[in-house]
Structure 1
Amino acid sequence: MAKSSNRLRSKARPVRSPIISKLIRAATPKGMSTILLGKMALKIAIASAISLIIAQGLQWEYPFYAVIAAIIVMSSTHGSTLKLGIQRLIGTTIGAIAGAIFAIALGSNSLSLALCVFVTIFFASYWKFNEAAKLAGYIAAIVILSHSQSPWIYAWHRYLETFLGISVALLVNNFIFPARAGTELRRYLSQTLIYLEEFYRLVVDCAFTGNYDRPRIDVLKLNIINSLVAERDLWQEVRKGQTNEPIEKRMNEAWEFLIRRIWEHILTMEHTVLARQQDTFWQIFSPQITQLAIETQNAMLALATAVQSRQSHLALPDMEVAIANATKELNRLKEIQQADYSMDELLRFFTFFYTIEEVGRKLQRMAAILNQTNS
């Protein structure tokens, strides 16, 4: 049985071409982050230096506030930088105004501070400015504790300095290593598919060997969730036209649904595998499932390559063959007497198989959509 398990495990690993292997290494956090983080660090450094030079040239008393704003709001795309900038400007405005009002009305003391911080954070959150809420409380506290003698002047200066830092960050982001939402979206989609392929491979391996690498799978799940969250924001930017791609070349929004459904399908497979006990019916069907799993993994990696490189054409003929062969064998097995197997065991197996098939179908659909987008 051990030899059989090792053989199945080795078969379940797809043969990867040098191009795909390079992509995998480049898309991992260690491989991908070096250049991207270098570009981001350089943009932040340039924006902070420009903000400081302008603020000092204008002889502002606290130029570091402009520097802080430029550093904090800088993000990977123009749209995300603008979103963070607006939130910071709102937080600064709410905190500065509220702090000035409470400093004049109640003075500089603990009661005034507590009431003002409560009001600013509560209303900023209530008005859905969640990312600005704590900043508003922070600015309000500074106004009350350090600038109660001239709160309105201080509030106005904070607004100007923050506005300067945000403006510089937006300009730098637009002209130095500009990264548009469409390009970033493709990069994240590619990365998500690579994470999904590894998660899928570990689940299939567990189905036939019983080995469940929980620490690695937990890390993968977190990476996938983070990628999906980033993709959600990037999809919104693309819908708003914050991308350098023409409409006919943009990623089809159906991909957003399909990639999330594949994630849910693999979670279902994982749950089914972990729920099984000493099921033996699976072994009868193992060659067909193994082949289908190999083609599914290859398809995920091929799609990861194609979506980032804007490959003009991607076909998955082996996927259709694997699905057809597995379905044919499954229909043959239905004619076999299954009385020796419990209903729970059969339900677990068929849930696992049909979920694998659904993953394959969705990958085929993604390839078809990608071909239409890039053609």
Structure 2
Amino acid sequence: MQSTQLQNWVRRLGLTPMSLIVSARTAVATVVALVFARRLSMSEFYWAPISTIVILLSTIDPLTLAWQRFVGTALGAFLGALIATYFHPNWIVYGAGIFVCGVLSSILRLGSAYRFAGIALTIVLLITHDRPPWVVATHRFLEVSLGIAVALLVTVVWRLPPNPS
């Protein structure tokens, strides 16, 4: 009797077995990414679990999205550090950087990685840091890469059951 009541209550809330599995898998993965980032003393550790969430909760194939995020972050962090080394960040420099990110993404045929390149460039270039731009860019790349690695590991180790829809 109690089990049936619980099942009815869960169903009324709109919960499905898949939503519970995805929620549990995401929670475990983000905590793993957070713990690793903290243990490695990453300065902005929160980028690791954010990247894990981006990969795990997308409708795009995790491997494809992981590659886009990895390559885009590398491009944006590199370009952001390069620009910050030679120019004082302002709206013109920032806009030119985003434009160059887009052009390079097209030339390199990176497609959707452009959005991640733009995000990384924005963070490296516009957020005030107390460290040199190359250090900030390297940290950003490593923090994001850790989150990507955890997400990919979790997708291999904890496979989702086929969706009945």
- Asked if these proteins are the same fold (TM beyond 0.5), I'd say yes
C-alpha RMSD over aligned residues: 2.5
1:166 aligned partner: 148
Which of 70, 76, 86 matches 1:105? Answer: 86
1:1-375 → structure 2 map (5 Å cutoff): 34-74=16-56, 80-147=61-128, 150-176=132-158, 178-179=159-160, 184=162, 187=163, 191=165
1:104-126 per-position Cα deviation (integer Å, ceiling 9, x unaligned):
12222122111001111232144
How far, CA to CA, are the matches of 2:114 and 2:73 in structure 1? 9
How far, CA to CA, are the matches of 2:101 and 2:58 in structure 1? 29
Q: Secondary structure at 2:93's aligned position in 1? A: helix
Which ranges of structure 1 fall in alignment gaps of 5 or more residues?
Answer: 1-29, 192-375
The answer to whether the Cα contact below 8 Å between 1:100 and 1:143 also exists between their aligned partners in 2 is: yes
How far, CA to CA, are the matches of 2:30 and 2:127 in structure 1? 25
Q: Following TM superposition, by how much is the alpha carbon of 1:129 offset from its aligned partner in structure 2, in angstroms?
A: 2.1
Q: Following TM superposition, by how much is the alpha carbon of 1:43 offset from its aligned partner in structure 2, in angstroms?
A: 1.0
The answer to whether the Cα contact below 8 Å between 1:103 and 1:112 also exists between their aligned partners in 2 is: no
In structure 2, give the amino acid aligned to 1:49.
Answer: V
TM score, norm. by length of structure 1: 0.37
1:239-276 per-position Cα deviation (integer Å, ceiling 9, x unaligned):
xxxxxxxxxxxxxxxxxxxxxxxxxxxxxxxxxxxxxx
In structure 2, give the amino acid aligned to 1:51.
Answer: A
The answer to whether the Cα contact below 8 Å between 2:68 and 2:116 also exists between their aligned partners in 1 is: no
Percent of pairs with identical residues: 31
Which ranges of structure 2 fall in alignment gaps of 5 or more residues?
Answer: 1-11
TM score, norm. by length of structure 2: 0.81
The answer to whether the Cα contact below 8 Å between 1:93 and 1:159 also exists between their aligned partners in 2 is: yes
The answer to whether the Cα contact below 8 Å between 1:95 and 1:137 also exists between their aligned partners in 2 is: yes
2:3 aligned partner: none
The answer to whether the Cα contact below 8 Å between 1:147 and 1:154 also exists between their aligned partners in 2 is: no
Q: Secondary structure at 2:61's aligned position in 1? A: helix
Q: Secondary structure at 1:59's aligned position in 2? A: coil
Q: How many residues align?
A: 152
Q: Following TM superposition, by how much is the alpha carbon of 1:128 offset from its aligned partner in structure 2, in angstroms?
A: 3.1
Q: Following TM superposition, by how much is the alpha carbon of 1:41 offset from its aligned partner in structure 2, in angstroms?
A: 1.5
